[in-house]
Every structure is written in structure tokens, then in C-alpha cells.
Structure 1
Amino acid sequence: MRYQKSGGALSVLALSLALFGCGGSSNSGGDTDLKLHVASPDWQDQIVYFVMTDRFNDGDPTNNDQGAGEYDPKDGSKYSGGDLKGVEQKIDYIKGLGATTVWVTPPVANQWWDPQTNYGGYHGYWASNFMEVDKHMGSLDDYKHLSSSLHKAGMYLMQDVVVNHTGNFFSYPSGWDANDPTKGLVMNTGSKPGSAPTQALFSQNDPRVAANVKAGIYHWTPAISDYSNAVQEKTYQLSDLDDLNTTNPTVRDELRKSYDYWIQSVGVDAFRIDTAFYVEPDFFKDFLYSGDKANPGVMATAKATGRSNFFAFGEGFASDKAYQNTYEKKIDSYMTDPSDGSDILPGMINFPLYGTAGDVFARGQATAQLGYRIRQMMAMHKRPHLMPSFLDNHDVNRFLSGGSQDGLKQNLLMMMTLPGIPVIYYGTEQAFTEQRGAMFKGGYKSDDKDHFDTSAPLYQYIAQVSQLRKSNKVFSRGTPTVLKENAASAGAFAYKMDYEGQTAVVVYNTSDSEVLIDNVATGLAANSELTAAFAMNGTAPKVVVDGNGQFTLRLPARAAYVWLASGKTGTPAAATGTLTMSALTDTTEAGDFTVSGTSSKVASFKLVVDGDLANAKSVTPAADGSWSASVDTSTMIDSSIRHSLVAWSEESGAISASGTFYVDRPFVQVAQIDDPAGDDTGPTGAYHYPSDDSWGTNHQGDIRKVTVATAGGSMKIDIQTPLVTSTWNPSNGFDHVAFTIFIQLPGKAGGTSVMPQQNASLPDGMSWNYRIRAHGWSNALFSSSGASTSSEGTTVSPAASIQVDKTTNTVSFTLTDASLGKPASLSGAKIYVTTWDYDGGYRGLSPTTQQWSFWGGAATDPLVLDATQVITLP
């Protein structure tokens, strides 16, 4: 049905009221069995399952191939066959995970194939018509039936929407002139199924037509080349996608009409709004709250169908570095207007939490980074409980491509026990590592089998933690307080959640070895009993806090526990001895130092640094109970890191107060090599960068110098290139290049010479034990165990920390001794550095010019742009 503004036609809002009354669960159309309109839920209590529809399940094979050369399940750039019927068929599977809402990628009619980029619109974000269902996805009736089936199952439908752009129907690869939109113009005449949008307003996309220019539906601009430029961000083309002029009232009106339509005709319950940063915040006030009678704001339309709590949240793709909040502030500015405090979007995806949680759970960074992020989240945002949280999605690497299953399970538990709406990306429950692999047999990288195994360990685990959240509102509605964090490394982390008199305590050990969590001040009354509610592995120990409301525990490697305060009191284990330690409050040490104290009825104890029990020092007090011991600081390499120290006797239950200190121990340079300029042309000398202007003549992959410094068993590798770019706002501070660094340790067995996924082997008989693979948005460390031509090996944490110095065009990777298995010496270690680029996998290599792939070689040739000689440390 089409809705018009004039000619006596009934307004959209009036039509809604006529069809649906005041709300409730009324149906529409002639199918009286449909349940399209239901009351909104309390969104903070929901759990979302996000499907990339084309890759999820093929419910109707007859719609797969539309005859435009756009369908090929063997090709990741083309349609694979999933559709809306396929999603409906798997509602029970999704519900069994504990999910209450299904988020589908945009189902609207799309540009199917873009010959300029050799890529297809299977994902749904390249609209041709915002008010039609794409033929690959099925029909309008299919979409209605999905909505109805979800509602009958007590679930909700969330639609991904795009308001910033259409598909790529015109571009300005070169020669653009802001004063003449016809200069440098290239119309994408080979686009399939058509060379312009089919929605009438948006079909006015040819600036050679004066009426189209006057209508001003689009910004006649080239692709964004600098994502830090505010004008380009709001008015240039994102990856050459035609940028809508969202300040134009006509465009705003059409977009409201388009998305009101899906609420009314299908019964959509929520919107996820793509690329929100690329639209001015004021647009969303109009989009959500406009009082236009013909095409009202989304909220009014939703309310007319019985949805008094319609949820809309935006995507702001940006993660802050550790202990920074620049992008967090930007994200907040799309929820709350900084000028007057008024509301804009109800929520935004919590990208900063995603980035920090990945660093902590996947890459083994200090847990204090997560403590900082949680405190910032609660202090900065007005509605943190409405900020969807996630651990991977269709735009970033799968967690398991660089993290362990234990780390994944811990991250899932965090999502389920902190404020924010948890989002599970399809395939996570089946341990997917392929970013957009298909769940169904015959689909892209499905290994020719279905992946809907409800007995899979991660499926069962997600169902368990989902139930934990749903059974205890303290997790979805409570307020967190960080109780314990480790500023130096992976290890102990604890927080409590409080809500209406209920308290929960959540504890993790993010380290791959046993740690001590000491003197945790819960704020609970003396002798309060904690009841075990969850254990990731094994059984949670019984905990009764002491007279000061504190507890101390030994935590196994990768442990995670949840307790609920029972309201009862118990009897804590009584200490049979005492320990004291000389006051140590943020002192700065130049090297090893001595600490002392007293004891009573303690035969021996452990001096524990940064919670690390595996390397704790055993101390035997003197006859009079006095004691002193030296603290080894040889591996403490960052003067800004705050370390902790405690004396603890497990046998007697005695524990001292915690102490804190810093160590200023510098790295020492041990090797440096210069690499020739201009040799970033591959092993044959014929390779070229992708043709997109963002590479241009920057030569980001041309290694010029590598410097290696060591501090004890730790290593710092500085890589200098001609230019460090950050065009795409990468979270790691550099883009358009991926560094792969191979490290062979002296005397360590089990290495391999294969260079995974790079079609190459190490030179000069070198075998690697550890391998760094990092680009702008990923940072992973692997051991050689299980490595092959296709497998990257076994993930290891902590991963390298990354620093970028744009003044010297240097990217630095620092590996602690723990990252390298605490080697006795680095003398004789070998290092080999290569460059390429990475986008969900190493970018492809083609014989002919490509915009987004390297070219000048066969796909099976080595994926190495530049490489150093093998560097041997003295």
C-alpha cells in the first residue's frame, strides 16, 4: 500500500488508528491469523539475536538466484541464499538460546551487484527502495509471517535501517569539483538490477539533470577520504555509497514515510539505525519525534500500533583506547543533546565497551581497563541499560578469530550481568570464526552442513547465562560497582550489581594461570553469606564475607563465578594467624626492592605480586615472626602501571593489607635494521596497492626501519613506515596496513615455518613460536600449536600492546614476558616482519586492478607486500 500526503488521502497516522485502533495485538490485511502488533516490552530486559539474513537460513531456495549474476554461495561477495522464511523456521532454535528479540539485517530492495567494487548487496545496506522487500529475502507476506510468528512466540522483531545512504549508483573517483557536480562524475551503469534506485524520490540521482540538482536529494560528493573531517563525515559518500541530504525536509519526510511503513505493515518492534555518525544528530529528532500529520515521527507511528515503548538505537562505529573516552562522548551526543540535555536516540551500540572487553577477555590486557570503561559508561550515559552490548558482529572480526573459547564465555557472562541489552551475533553459539559464514548447508563457507546444533557447548552455555540474566533483574536493571581490578595484567576482576535490595557479585580470572583475588570489599554486612548462582567451569566456592565485608579467594585459570547475596549470615573461615606488611602506597621503585613485615602463627606464606600465584614468592618468617623479602621487578616494563603486592597464607587464612607501587625500568635497544624504500611491491616486484584513493601514494606497507628493544623477557618492536594513516578512525590508531610479525625463541621447540593464510613460508630456515597479526581493528597473538596454511594457530594472551607515533610514523608492539611464555633469555631470538592488509581475513590478490584488493599477482601467490630480513637478537 502506498501512502500519499495530498489528494484527500488518509494520513498515515489516521490510517494506523483506523486499522489498528488504540493498539494491542490487532492484525492487519486479510490474514486473521497474523499477530503483527503487540505492546512494547521493557527493552532493558531483552536479549537480542542478530542474524545476517542472507547467511542464516535458506527457507525458500526458489528466490536465491534472480538471474543477475549476483548469486553464488561459493563467493563471499555474492548472495548465498538465506531469507526471511529461513529465519522464521529457526525461531525455536533462537528462542532456545534465551533470546527474546530477532534483529534482521535490512530486508529492503537492494543494489544486487556493484561492478565498480565487484561486491554485492546481500547484506542489505545498499538500498534501492526503502519500501519494498528484496526479492532474495522473500515477499512482504513472508516478512509479516516472520513478525507474527515471533510475536506468537512471545518474541520481538528488530529491523536494521539505513538513513544515511542508498547503494552506489554514482561516484567521483577523480576530478570532483564542489561547484560543478557533473565534473568527475561516473554513473554506475552496470549496476544490477538497475542503475538507479527505484523509489521515486531517490531515483533523482543524476546531477546531469538540472531538476535532480535542484531537488537536492543527494550530496554530490566523492567518497570520504578523512573520517576525522566533520564535513566529510556528514556530507561525503561512505565507501562510495550515495549520500542522502538528510538536512533536506523532503528527504526527511520520505525516510519517515519509508520506515513508518514497516512498523505499520509488518509490525516491526524496534530499529537499529546503521551509520548514525554520518548523519547530523538533529535528523534523529525529526525522524523519531516529528509532528508531521501525514508522515509522523517513528515514535508516534509506533504508538498508534500499540507500541508505547518503541526502541531505536544507533550505530557509532568507534572504540576508545585504554583509559580514553573521546568516542564515548561522541556516542553520548547522539543519545543526549549536549546543548540542552534533551533526548535524541534512546540508545547507541556500546562500541567502547566492546573494544575494551575484547582487549581484556580476548587479548589479555589489564582488567583495570574494563573497570575504567564500566565507570565511564555509568557516569557518562543517561540510559546505559538501553545501550546494546556485543562481542562481535558483521563488521568486525569474530571473537574466536583472535580469542579463546574461555575468553568468549567470560565476555558473554559480562554482557549478561552488566547494564546494556546483550546482542548475540548468529553463529557465536556454534563457535564460528568466519565473520559472515553461512549457518545453512550449501551457504558460504558452511562446510556443506547445517550449523543449528542445540547440543553445541556454546549454545548450551549461552542458554545458561541468558537464563541467569532473565531470572534475576539485578543484572538487567542494576547498578554496577567495580570491586577489584588489576592495573598491571590479566587476572582478577570483580564487580557487584545492586537493584532494589538485591546484590550480586561477579568475579573473573582473565588469566590463563591461577591468581589470587584479595581483600575484596563488598560493602555487605559483616559475615554476609553469598549463594552461588553460576560457575563457568566447575562449582563456585562457598563465600562468607568476614567482619569487614571482605573476602579473599584463589581463582583457577579463566574462572568466572556469580553469587547472589542471600540476606543470611554465616561463619567465615577463621584465620589462625596474622600477617602485616610495611606500608606501600604508590611508591616508585627503580628496580628490585625489599619489603618487610611481621607475622604470628604463620609458618610460611606467599608474597603475591599482581595476583600472580604461579610466580608468587614463598617466604618463611624468622623465629620472632619478622620477615623481609625481595620483590623481582625484572619484567615490569611500563612505568605508568600500578602494581599490587600482598602477603597471604592459605593454610592459616592470614592476609596483609594490599600495597601498591610503580617501577621505572627502561627498555634497552638490542637490534635495528633499515629496510629499502619502495620495495613494497611483493616478492615479484609486480604487486600494487588497491586502487582506492585512500591508499593512493601513501605506501603504508613499505617497511623502512625495525627496532627491537628488550627488558628482561619482554620485547618491544618498533616498525617505521613512510606514513601512518588513520583515515578510517581505526581503534588501533593505524589503517590500510596489517603487520604480521613472526618470533622464534631460542631453545623453544615446536615451531613451524608456515605463514598461515599468506601462501608463504618463513625464509632462512626460521620457525616461529609466536605470531602477531594486527591491523587497525584487530590485534591477535598466536602460538604455533595447530598452525597450518589455513589455521592461524592457538590464540595466546596477553596480546601485544600497540602504540602509534605519527610524528615518526612508527607503530610499536610490546610483548610482556607472560606473552612469550616467560623466556629465560631473548638472546638468539629471531624476528621476521611482513606487511599486507586485512579485512576479516587477508585482503585478496588479483591479476588486474582492483579497488579494494591488492593486484599484480595470482590469488595463490604470497600475500606479502614488504618483508624484513630475519632479525636475530644478540
Structure 2
Amino acid sequence: MKRFHPWPTVAMTAVAAALLASCGDNSDLPCCDPPPPAQLLHVASPEWQDQIVYFVMTDRFNDGDPSNNDQGAGEFDPADGAKYSGGDLRGVEAKIDYIKGLGATAVWVTPPVANQWWDPLNNYGGYHGYWASNFMEVDKHMGTLADYKSLSSSLHKSGMYLIQDVVLNHTGNFFSYRGGYDAADPTKFLVMNTASKPGAAPTQSPFDLNDPRNADHVKAGIYHWTPSISDFQDATQEKNYQLSDLDDLNTENPAVRDALRKSYAYWIKEVGVDGFRIDTAFYVPPDTFKDFLYSTDTTNPGIVAAAKATGRENFLSFGEGFASDRAYEDTKAKKIDSYMTDPATGETILPGMINFPLYTSAGDVFARGRPTAELGYRIRDVMTTHKRPHLMPSFLDNHDVDRFLAGGSEAGLKQNLLMMMTLPGIPVIYYGTEQAFKEQRAAMFKAGYKSGGKDNFDTTAPLYQYIAQVSALRKANKVFSRGTPTVLKENGAAAGVFAYKMSWNGTTAFVVFNTADGETLLDNLETGLAAHAVLKPLFAASGTATQAVADKNGRLSMKLPARSAYVWLATADTASVVDPTATISMTALNDVKEAGDFIVSGVSTELTNFKLVIDGDVAHAQTVTPAGDGSWSATVDTATMIDPTIRHSIVAWSETSAVLSNSGSFFVDRPFVKLAEVVDPAGDDVGPTGVYKYPTNDSWGSNRQLDLRKVTVSGAGGAMRIDVQTNKVTTVWNPANGFDHVAFTIFIEVPGKAGGVTAMPLQNAVLPGGMKWHYRLRAHGWSNAIFTSAGASASNEGTNASPAAGLKVDTATNTVSFILPDASLGKLSSLSGVKVYVTTWDYDGGYRGLSPTTQEWAFWGGNGATDPLVMDDTTVISLP
């Protein structure tokens, strides 16, 4: 039997070779053991636009070596979301087959470098990897350098690639400024984090020169001695101040730039990393990235040269620019592109940037039921604003934002995944999505944080199987990874139809969605194909994909089931079809503007009746009966058409005869009417006991963002607008929704509606005055969700629903407005008798904690396990 004998990693000596040759059949000799397989660290770069990335937060993914979990600094506790759970690099390697089975071709790991393990100033740990203490060491919780090399080699041998998360902007939090700041004297208001674990300063030179009280450290200029950013619109603060208390590196300093190039080239050379995801790109000057990637320094050249030295001619670096545009805006998209391409010279900076604007628009459409035209705009903008959209990673959730399923349905998630796999951009799957995770950073392994007490690597899970299918669709049809999209159909008013085609190298594919929770009509889709052209089925999100056939005009029309999605491939084939003899025409409506209800008319033949479909909504279509001569007219009810900027669509349709009229479009300018208003006392944001206090961190300041001042409820038919005025709207953390440091939870009771719940989910409270809620809104700076009471309880938020409320923020009046279309409330004909109740708290991956004693990042003055998580509230507002 063979015995273990470690084989030398250097070239075999002549003596060793001779001994091996003399072994013959004597295989029991240690020298006769075969060498272990050689590691495969360096491979050629792939075509990145064809790759599919799986993103793991290493500490929360899988524990391959329990012996490295607890380093004895009080930093390890799987029951505490702020501490290490035990995942490591060996754990990732052990699950390569699981990851590959999803269809992923690359693995992106959070920074594996030595980190600040525990920050006592903020009571949080660096388990995530973004708080470096040494950029050139593997963190002990993650394993060893040998473990990292083994992971790299195993991935490469599986035909996969390794992407490492890297940080250029900051280290951990080893010094802070509290209570003030004096730019002329960086020692004033300074707090050195002396109790930081495992040490009070970085261990790597020159980053260890971090004490402004030391003249030599100040002279070295490795850091900006600055406090946390308080105004994200201030360019100086953005580039030079601390992001969330993390020590800001002076990346204009040549010594810093040199050290960063050296540090990160190390991982390419020693481990075989194939690409970088660059954290917090907006907080580093673009010129730093030019140096980082393209420096011609002979000792520590730029990353591109370092990668080429290992055979990687196409090393991928993509940045994180955490910013998203609101609907029909692209200011943030242009900022993102300025980090990819120098706007002054046209030079390439970063090959790619994460596509945050697309993430937001897709989430609004697929999770929150916003009009699909918002996504159509975003796709067109992506293709015109960015020179390299195919190298922009796309995603639907990650470690910094809510999980999709925290506010969206599984059907919506499937649609978002399909969109991501059929558009330009490198798709990124966040670990746990395939297991229907709702918790942002839960562990996949049994012993880890919020794992549910089980391992979560089920390859038979429905979403695992679905992701494998859509991944296979993308890989089998390069039209999706390399093609150009053209939006063909969108709904400007509501959830519903959304269609685009992808074209590449003579191939055309059509992707069609119904994002609504009810049936919608796809009418008169211009395919550009011949009469009766056959579309070959490639995929259906549910059920069986079936062939589609264009009509005599090359158009495609059909009724789409709720939350359906289809993919077809254009062919040169045509079908033998008998065209219908019935006809419908409608007087042309081309973006006409109406002030209220109006009449539409036309002519039909061979029809006793048909439907007049507004905004694709089949369920609420009006039945029209033509006169004897075929002429017809109908009144369009505009009572719930509440936004004058929205383009509505209209078409006459006979399902039984399979005929449609021409499509029309119109706008309606119809105002809301005030129904109720409640003025709330100033200064009563102290909780139900009167003693709650805000977190002590400076970012809250004295703004009292949770202090309600006035709530106004207005209506337009069954649509509702809730204007919530607070003491102060702030944007300290650059929130996507335009307000931060407060979460609004709004409960709505519908008279006569069955069911309803009195419990206020996750808030340790029940509704006042015997009120029951049927709909519940939860919105903060980065999420906006609506739930029905089905399945709701004190510990369950209920059932995700759509469409969510539209949001508008007026900082001049400190007002956040929630606009609910009638579809959000079940198509009510009137709001009479509806009850509304508004509360404030804050939200950070869950309702923010409440502690009995003073806390920097939690509310205090109560017991968070039992006391209500309500800072201020209104009375119950009853609508007349």
C-alpha cells in the first residue's frame, strides 16, 4: 500500500530521478509515490462577456476548516451577524461542483486579505473582508496562502476563473474623528481605535504610518486625516473623507499607489487571480485607476502588465460605483461611465463597472411592479451611455442591498434572472439566491449565521434548477452575451408587457415578459420578420415553450399569462396560416392629451363584441358591442390615471377571432384630491415609553429624521397618495431613494375586505384602535416594498405584492410621498372608509436594533426583543 510522501515542488534532482527510475515494482518505497498533480495557477484570460459569475461572501458561504474559525479575539460568534461565522477558502473549494452546476464559470470572493477582526468603536467585525490590515496576507479566518492557491488551481482545472475583491480606497477603522473636525489640526477630535482586534494599526508598510500625532507619519502622507463623509454631493469629501469611518488612503501619494500595485499584483502572481472587482470606486480619483492598471513603473508595474506577465492578456477589472438613477434619469450612469472612459480624452480607465442603474430599474419593474417602460429606458441608456456594456457586471442583489426576495416574489426573481441572462453584461449570481435566501448575509452552512440550522446546498432546489437552465440558455446562444438589444414593446403606465430582441452575427432572438400579476395583452409587436414567420421556442419561465407565428404583417400578438416569460429564436421558416376575416379599426390616438374621461371610436366587421384593453390589462378590459353597421364607440374611464407624464396604451381586441385594431396612446392630467390630513406634534419621536433615543453616531446629528410632522392622504378614484412630512429629510449616506436614517412602515386597512392582521410584523407591536391591515408598505433609503396580509404575523412580513408605491422626495418641505396606483390596493373603486397608519423607525438589513443602554448604531432606551420598534406614529387616519 502506498504511503504519503510530500513531493518536492522544485525541479526533481538527478539523484531523485535516478531513485525513482530504480523503484521498479517496489511501490512501498516512499520515493516511489507519484507526485501530486501540478497546480494550475496561471491560465489565459477568457472572453469575459461570455462568463457567468457566482459571488460568495466567503465567511458566510461554507466552512471547510473549522480549526481557523475562532482566533481568540472575541470576534467569532455565528449567532451574531456582526461577527465571523466560519466560512473560508477551503469551504469555497469544496463547493466548486455545486457552483459549476449552476452554470457559473467564475467565482468572485470577498477580500481574503488580513482584516481588522473587531472594531470596538462601531461594535462590528471585519468578517466581510473590506477592512484590511495587510493587503498582502491571507486572513487567518480565511485559511492560508496554500489554501488560496489550491482554490485557484481547482477552479482553473474545472475550466473556471477566480475574481478577487480588492480595496484601494481605505483600510479598516484604526482612527476616527468624533464630536468635530479641524482640518488645520488633524489631532483635534481624534480617536485612536486602541482596542481594535487583532491590532490597533495596519501591519503592512507604509499603511502602518497612520497616527497623525506622529510627525513622521504626517510627513509620509499615507492617509487623509479626515472624518466620515457627511455630504456625498461634496466632491472633496467624496474623494478625501472617510467612508463610514474607514481610514481613507491618500491615493494621490506615489508611495500609496506603488504599495497598492505591489500588493495586488502579488495575488495575480502568487495565486493566479484572473480578475478584480474594485470596491468603492467613486471614492478614489479616476487617475488612481489609470496608475493602478497601466503604470509603466519597472519595479511595480500596473496590474495589466503584471497580469500579462502570467499569460493573462485580458485581465478583467471592474469597479463598484454604488449609485443608481431614478426612472428616466441617467446622471449616475454617466458618472459610472466616467470611471470606465475618460470623458476628456476617451481613454479606457476601468474595463467595466457594475451596472447599478440597471439593477435599480430591473428591481423596480420585476419586484415592485413599476411600468416596464422604465426598464426600456434603462436598457437604451446602457447601450448609448457606455462603450463597453458587455463588460459591465449585472446583478439583482448583493451583500450591500436587500435580497430580491426580501421585497419581491419568486416569479419576479425568475424574470429578473432571465433578463440578466439575455442582455449584455456579465451576469452575477449572489450566493444563496439559488436557495431562495431572504436574509442579506445569511450563511449557507449549518453552523453559520441564520442558516436555518441546515446546510443550504440543495441542487434540487427549484431556483437552483432554474438558474442552471437560464445559464445554459445564455451559454448555448451567444446572441445573448454578445448581441445588441432593441426594445420593441413596453408599458408606460403599469406592470405588463416588456419585449426586446437581441441581434448578433445574423441571429435574432426575442425575449418577452409579462411583469404583471394578472394577464396582459401583447399587441402588434413589430418583429421585422416576414408574414407568418415561425419563431422557434428556446425557453419559457414556466410551463412548456411553444412555437409562435407572426401575423400577415410580421407582427406578434397574444395574451400573456401572469408573470410569464418566453424566449424565441427567429427562423426563415413560415407557417401555413389562414388569416382571420374579421377586422377592427380605431380612430388614431397618437399621444393625445386628455383632462378626464374621453370617447374613442372605430369600425369593426364580423364581430358581435370585443374588448377595449387599456395598458394591457385584460382582466379589467371593457366589453364593446358594435352597432349594426359595425361602428362603435366607448368611454375611457380615467379616474385612476394619476400621473400626467405617463403614456397610456389602448387597443381593441377580439380574442375569439384573433384580431386587433391599431394601437393608440394618450396622456391624462387628472389631479389628486386631498381626503385627510393629520398634524403630528414636534418632538414626540421618543417611542411609546417616551424615553427612546437616537443612535449616538454623528451621522444622525440633531436632525430627528423620525419625527413625523404632518401626514396628508389624497385620492384619485382607487389611487392613493400619502405625503409624509418629517422634521428633516437627510441624505447622509447617499441613499438611492432620496432619504436616509428613517424607515417608514405604513399600514392600510380596506373596508369590507376579508382577512387582515393586527400584528405589526417584526416591530413587537399591534395596530392601535382595533385596526387591521390588508396592505403594508415598508420603505427606506435603499428599498421599497409592499406586502399583503396573507401569511403575515408578528414574525412574518406577509406576502410580497406589486406594484409598490412610487416615491417622490421634496427636501425643501422635508416630505416623502408614496404614490399607490389603484392596482396596489386591489383596484378599489373608491377610498372611502380606508384607514391609514404611519410609523417611523430605521432599517439596516432588518429593523434597526433597540438597546437598553447607549449605542452608536442602535436606538436605545428599551428592550429590542420585546419593546415596540416605533419611534413616532400617527393616529389612525380614516378616509371619508
TM range (shorter): over 0.9
RMSD: 0.9
Deviations 1:412-457 (A, max 9, x none): 0000000000000000000000000000011000111000000000
Shift of 1:572: 4.3
Aligned to 1:661: 666
> Which runs of structure 2 are paired with 1:88-237 in the superposition (5 Å)?
88-237=93-242
Aligned to 1:59: 64
Q: Are the equivalent residues in 1 in contact too, given 2:519–2:560 (CA < 8 A)?
A: yes
Q: Are the equivalent residues in 2 in contact too, given 1:224–1:232 (CA < 8 A)?
A: yes
Aligned to 2:4: none
Q: Secondary structure at the match of 1:67?
A: coil
Q: Secondary structure at the match of 1:688?
A: coil
Q: Secondary structure at the match of 2:216?
A: helix
Q: Are the equivalent residues in 2 in contact too, given 1:828–1:872 (CA < 8 A)?
A: yes
Q: Secondary structure at the match of 1:195?
A: coil
Structure 2 Cα separation of the partners of residues 577 and 327 of structure 1: 50
Aligned to 1:243: 248
Q: Are the equivalent residues in 2 in contact too, given 1:227–1:729 (CA < 8 A)?
A: yes
Structure 2 residue runs of 5 or longer lacking an equivalent are 1-34
Q: Are the equivalent residues in 2 in contact too, given 1:756–1:789 (CA < 8 A)?
A: yes
Structure 1 residue runs of 5 or longer lacking an equivalent are 1-29
Deviations 1:814-852 (A, max 9, x none): 111110011232111111100011111111111222221
Aligned with 2:870 (options 852, 864, 867): 864
Aligned to 2:646: 641
1:564 has 2:569 as partner: yes
Deviations 1:359-395 (A, max 9, x none): 0000000000000000000001000000000000000
Shift of 1:576: 2.1
> Which runs of structure 2 are paired with 1:377-392 in the superposition (5 Å)?
377-392=382-397
Shift of 1:68: 0.1
Structure 1 Cα separation of the partners of residues 556 and 565 of structure 2: 16
Between 1:144-153 and 1:223-232, the stretch displaced more is 223-232
Shift of 1:127: 0.1
Aligned to 1:325: 330
Aligned to 1:284: 289
1:694 has 2:699 as partner: yes
Structure 2 Cα separation of the partners of residues 176 and 635 of structure 1: 52
> Which runs of structure 2 are paired with 1:392-431 in the superposition (5 Å)?
392-431=397-436
Shift of 1:586: 1.2
Cα distance change, pair 59–573 in 1 and its aligned pair in 2 (3 A): farther
Shift of 1:31: 7.2
Aligned to 1:712: 717
Q: Are the equivalent residues in 1 in contact too, given 2:552–2:579 (CA < 8 A)?
A: no
Structure 1 Cα separation of the partners of residues 157 and 447 of structure 2: 30
1:518 has 2:532 as partner: no
Q: Secondary structure at the match of 2:702?
A: coil
Aligned with 1:439 (options 444, 464, 487): 444
Between 1:31-40 and 1:589-598, the stretch displaced more is 31-40
Shift of 1:749: 1.7
Shift of 1:181: 1.2
Aligned to 1:485: 490
Q: Secondary structure at the match of 1:704?
A: strand
Structure 2 Cα separation of the partners of residues 634 and 170 of structure 1: 58
Aligned to 1:631: 636
The number of equivalent residue pairs is 845
Aligned to 1:726: 731
Aligned with 2:263 (options 258, 271, 276): 258
Deviations 1:702-725 (A, max 9, x none): 000000001101110000011111
Structure 1 Cα separation of the partners of residues 254 and 530 of structure 2: 59
Shift of 1:32: 5.9
> Which runs of structure 2 are paired with 1:245-644 in the superposition (5 Å)?
245-572=250-577, 574-644=579-649
Between 1:130-139 and 1:740-749, the stretch displaced more is 740-749
Structure 2 Cα separation of the partners of residues 803 and 279 of structure 1: 30
Q: Secondary structure at the match of 1:252?
A: helix
> Which runs of structure 2 are paired with 1:759-778 in the superposition (5 Å)?
759-778=764-783
> Which runs of structure 2 are paired with 1:72-91 in the superposition (5 Å)?
72-91=77-96
1:676 has 2:681 as partner: yes
1:800 has 2:791 as partner: no
Deviations 1:238-289 (A, max 9, x none): 0000000000000000000000000000000000000000000010000000
Aligned to 1:810: 815
Q: Secondary structure at the match of 2:708?
A: coil
Q: Are the equivalent residues in 2 in contact too, given 1:544–1:571 (CA < 8 A)?
A: no
Counting aligned pairs with the same residue, the percent is: 73
Structure 1 Cα separation of the partners of residues 527 and 845 of structure 2: 42
Dislocated runs of 4+, deviation >4 Å? none
Structure 1 Cα separation of the partners of residues 309 and 115 of structure 2: 29
Residue identity matched to 2:370: Q
Structure 1 Cα separation of the partners of residues 822 and 180 of structure 2: 52
Deviations 1:343-373 (A, max 9, x none): 0000000000000000000000000000000
Structure 1 Cα separation of the partners of residues 171 and 37 of structure 2: 35
What TM-score do you get using the length of structure 1 for normalisation?
Answer: 0.96
Between 1:166-175 and 1:211-220, the stretch displaced more is 166-175
Aligned to 1:19: none
Q: Secondary structure at the match of 2:825?
A: coil
Deviations 1:784-828 (A, max 9, x none): 111111211001100000001111111000111110011232111
Deviations 1:586-621 (A, max 9, x none): 111122111111111122211100011000111121
Structure 1 Cα separation of the partners of residues 868 and 546 of structure 2: 52
Deviations 1:547-604 (A, max 9, x none): 3221101000000000011222223451221110011111111221111111111222
Shift of 1:653: 2.1
Structure 2 Cα separation of the partners of residues 480 and 686 of structure 1: 56
Structure 1 Cα separation of the partners of residues 571 and 585 of structure 2: 32
Q: Secondary structure at the match of 2:268?
A: helix
Q: Secondary structure at the match of 1:201?
A: coil
Shift of 1:540: 3.0
Cα distance change, pair 274–572 in 1 and its aligned pair in 2 (3 A): farther
Residue identity matched to 2:870: V
Structure 1 Cα separation of the partners of residues 541 and 612 of structure 2: 28
